[in-house]
Amino acid sequence: MSKMRRDMNSDNASQGISAMIIFVSIILMCSIISAVVIGFGEKVFAETKTDAQENIPSFKGIVNIVVFEISSLGADDELHLVFELPYIEQSIGDTNVAWVVMCFPTNQGGGRQTMHFDEGDFSLATELDGDGLTAADIDEFEPAVTYRMIMQLSECDLEAVDEASLVIMVDRGRTQEWQMNIGSAPYQGQDLN
């Protein structure tokens, strides 16, 4: 008897092995991508937590000047300021707001630019019914409440300046500058806005 042998050329086995290799490589690639995405997400959330712990609240303060005028002229000039802080998120301490008046005296000549300045904080501010010159029991400014203050100038003589400006600084807020429209003959009650 003769043995029967059957020869079959089939590519089915090699196709199955190729499909299995591709499937395993896709699974491996997906696991690597998911590990990277999870690691990135963890890092983002960890940094967000750190940012929240380090966050310092800001006042975002802008001083809105309602009235700005010359209160008195003489040996020591005085400026009357009525203001509010309409855009602060929370109350702000009266010592966290400061002012500087910068003056350029007349007739300096020779290209010389000397500047005189007076400075202070808002601790003398009162509510509208106060005199604006006596330290009141106001320790903090509330949003959208109107206050007044008299700024006493000892270095700047408003009758002898070419130009002057007022700078107001709010801690963790904004710094603003206003040019004072003094003119050549300042007078008491003159509007400087």
Each residue's pLDDT tens digit, 61-89:
778 899 999 999 988 899 999 998 887 77
Q: CA separation (Å) from 72 to 15, 80, 153, 171, 183? A: 100, 9, 10, 29, 16
Q: What letter does residue 158 receive in the DSSP assignment?
A: G
**Residue 104, in any domain of the structure:** yes
Two structure tokens written together for 57: 């609240």
Task: Determine, yes or no, domain membership for 187.
Answer: no
Structural domain boundaries enclosing 117: 64-180
Do 77 and 167 share a structural domain? yes
CATH code assigned at 125: 2.60.40
Residue 106, domain member (yes or no): yes
Please, what sign has the CA dihedral across residues 144, 148, 152, 156?
Answer: positive
Burial, 122: exposed, middle or buried (Cβ in 10 Å; 0-12, 13-18, 19+)? Answer: buried
Tell me the whole-structure pTM to 2 decimals.
0.66
Q: Judge if 131 and 164 occupy the same domain.
A: yes
Using alpha carbons, select from 92, 74, 97 the residue that is nearest to residue 187: 74
Do 50 and 81 belong to one domain?
no
Quick check: is 157 in a domain? yes
Query: What does the pLDDT look like over 8-60, one tens digit per residue?
Result: 666 677 788 888 999 999 999 999 999 999 988 888 877 766 555 555 555 56
Question: Does 126 fall in a domain?
Answer: yes
Residue 37 lies in a domain: yes
